[in-house]
Structure 1
């Protein structure tokens, strides 16, 4: 296949601050630290990356695209992310097995239940 997923772009009021938050949350490393582009990856030569770019308008509605994460321990991971500055988000999920959180700029993401062994 000739098509490779390079990165996901995230609009941000403060790309560097949000990029650093996600780097801490994921344990990833910065690979580009420019005023108009802050990119992080799991390792410098590993794709895909997350690229944070500046926008002047604020987030208004639920994201049309969000990331899902599968932890070993959902409760511990939710607590860790909340301690880093995430907050709970209600996107109409109701009673579900996943937890919806939002990063410091309000971008929603899900922490799924732990995989059954």
Structure 2
């Protein structure tokens, strides 16, 4: 049996707005909204997508799953993300970590790693 990965689904109070934020962050393309939510795909259509679906209420706790991203210029990327609505997050990472933990505008944590 083969099981493939299609998408990572993310709950959001405003799926369209959050999908647009992530599309801009990743340089991906948002699909037209559907009743179930909004999908954001890589431009070439290859690989898993992000799918944003409506969920009411505040996020109850730290994510148990998060994205690890990287940027050629980590500091510049952090500044850009903060200017666009991300916030810094302290989730137990060491003071000398070479990654930065951030939250998107709906408080979903993700890490921005040093370039690889």
Which residue does 1:2 correspond to in 2? 2
Change (3 A) 1:33 1:44: farther
Unaligned runs of 5+ in 1: none
1:27 aligns with 2:27: yes
Shift of the alpha carbon at 1:46? 2.0
Displacement of 1:57: 2.8
Residue matched to 1:113? 114
What does residue 45 of structure 1 align with?
45
Which residue pairs with 1:103 in the alignment?
104
In structure 2, distance between residues paired with 1:60 and 1:4: 29
Q: Secondary structure at the match of 1:34?
A: coil
Normalised to the residue count of structure 1, the TM-score between the two structures is 0.90
- Give how far 1:31 is off: 2.2
Moved over 3 A (4+): none
CA displacement at 1:35 relative to structure 2: 4.0
State the Cα distance separating 1:105 from its structure 2 match.
0.3
Per-residue deviation, residues 44-91 of structure 1 (Å, max 9, x unmatched): 632210000011232021100000012111111111111111110111
Q: Let me know the Cα RMSD of the aligned residues.
A: 1.5
